[in-house]
Amino acid sequence: MDFDTIPTTIPMLGTPGIPTPIQQWQKDHQRHFVSDDDQVVIDVHEKALARIFQAGEMPSVFELAGPREQIYFDPSKLKCALVTCGGLCPGLNGIIRSVVLELFYGYGVRNIYGIRYGLQGFIPRYGHGVVELTPAAVGDIIRKGGSFLGSSRGPQDVGEIVDCLERMNIRALFMVGGDGTLMAATRIADTILERGLKISVVGIPKTIDNDIYMVSRSFGFDTAVDVATQSIRAAHNEAKGYPNGIGLIKLMGRYSGFIAATAALAQQDVNFVLIPEVDFDMDGPDGFMETLERRMADKGHAVIVVAEGAGQRFFRDAEKRRDASGNIRLNDIGLFLKEAIVNHFKARKTDISIKYIDPSYMIRSLPANSNDHVFCSFLGRSAVHAAMAGKTKLLIGHWNNHFVHVPMAASAGKRKQVSPDGRLWQSVLGSTGQGMLRNI
């Protein structure tokens, strides 16, 4: 990865000139503020840094997230809006709550509005009202799954969205969503700048698949791995409980297999992991079916984890369909594998007992676990600090164990994936012993 080409500059609406109010309620403590000069090196590998310094250059860096001593917006006059978009994910309510609490108690902002049902909430013809967000309204929402504000998929007219922001006199917009939402946020921020408006747009990356580019971890991922691990445990018990038992679990991961790979390592009862980044053959001496057959003959049971985006090349002749957001609807690799396994062993006159588990929607709609609650709190509060300082067209990312400001241009439209040569996948191969599953 060429980190030198990654944009790192964060646009500003103007020069911050208002002392932050958050120092007023920390009278007994020295509040730690950060400045734009506090930065996190993107590439921390020693050889890369040595090469940069030997050339007399400086490494690429991200701004450190956190409260600034001087802010841009007057909290007493500021109106903020928050919207959640796309699929559900554990932690959405934690993000909403942390943003509201930091605005209200940290900065004294009293006009905070929740936009209902994603980007549809900005468009008049849908008729979705807004929600006034207060500490009382969001106090216990982290106990619940889903999104307190609701969500929706599909593009909406950017001009109409900005028109709504102007009508409501919104000056800080927090957008929580995945890659599609971040691309929409980029277009919204560009339109705002073209109109000469002073509106901060801050993205909070949301993807249960953990595939946001230049973000090392996204909220909801920890919870997803937790629940996926329980599914693996159940599948393993089912497989061992019957002669020739097979447990097959389909997990989330349209284009990236982070959940499947990480959950397999967490439980280490898995014999096969299939992910989108690593191709496999179904047939042939070293293909999946023959390798599974050898495993069954040797141990009498097997556990298989497949990410939803794996093996899509086996559906080349299928009709291409798209969802409301324009994403290609994936063919069901889980059911495909189940049928293929049943037919394979039936042809060999071998009885098997196969149990198929798909916990995807249960995982998406559950409340976050404790680790994700803490993570969401940091993300939400960091987003507020960035907006209050007058920064825009950025997302809050986690990089090299720090919360940082990532320009939307560095992330939107790109995707992080499991490296076949990286430590994660090599550890999976070592744990499962599955081999390459290719006839090479």
Q: What's the number of CA atoms in the CB half-sphere (13 Å) around residue 257?
A: 27
Q: Which helix (H) or strand (E) holds 407?
A: strand 402-407
**Active-site residue identified among 4, 36, 37, 209:** 209
Length of the chain measured in residues:
440
| pLDDT, position 323 | 64
d(CA 205, CA 217): 9
Beta strand 394-399 with 301-307: parallel, antiparallel or unpaired? unpaired
Per the CB < 8 A criterion, the answer to whether 332 and 360 are in contact is no
pLDDT, tens only, 255-280 = 999 999 999 999 899 999 999 999 99
For a pLDDT cut of 90, what percent of the chain falls above it?
A: 87
Question: Where are the strands (E) in 45-141, listed by range?
Answer: 61-64, 70-71, 79-84, 111-115, 130-132
pLDDT of residue 55: 87
Residue environment code for 110-141, b if the CB has 16+ CB neighbours within 10 A, otherwise e:
ebbbbbbbbbbbbbeeeebebbebeeebbeeb
Sequence ranges of the binding site: 87, 153-154, 178-181, 207-209, 252-254, 308, 361-364
Q: Residue 320 has what pLDDT?
A: 72
pLDDT at position 171 over 80: yes
Any idea what the Cα angle at residue 49 is, between residues 47 and 53, rounded to 5°?
120
According to DSSP, the β-strands at 111-115 and 130-132 are antiparallel
Q: What is the pLDDT of residue 3?
A: 72
Structure tokens at 17: 């000139």
In our burial notation (b when 16+ CB lie closer than 10 A, e otherwise), range 375-411 reads: bbbbbbbbbbbbbbbbbbbbbbbbbeebbbbbbbbbb
Residue bearing the bigger pLDDT, 24 or 82:
82
| Mean pLDDT calculated for residue range 116-124 | 98
From the annotation, which residues make up the binding site for ATP?
A: 87, 153-154, 178-181
Whether 176 shows a pLDDT value over 90: the answer reads yes
Crossing angle (nearest 10°) for helices 258-267 and 423-432: 50
Considering the entire predicted model, what is its pTM? Answer: 0.94
Digit-coded pLDDT (tens) for 317-364 = 776 776 665 667 899 999 999 999 999 999 999 999 999 999 988 899
Average per-residue pLDDT for the chain: 94
CB atoms within 10 A of CB 104: 19
Per-residue confidence (pLDDT) for residue 136, from 0 to 100: 98
pLDDT surpasses 70 at 29: no
Domains in the chain with CATH codes: 3-218+366-411 (3.40.50.450), 222-364+420-432 (3.40.50.460)
User: 22 near 31, Cβ under 8 Å?
Assistant: yes
Helices 92-101 and 370-388 sit at what angle, rounded to 10 degrees? 40
Told to judge if 209 belongs to the known catalytic residues of this protein, a careful annotator would answer: yes
pLDDT of residue 52: 86
Cβ-Cβ contacts under 8 Å for 63 (sequence gap 6 or more): 8, 10, 36, 38, 39, 40, 404, 405
The CA distance from 278 to 172, in Å, is 41
* Numbered residues of the known binding site for substrate: 207-209, 252-254, 308, 361-364
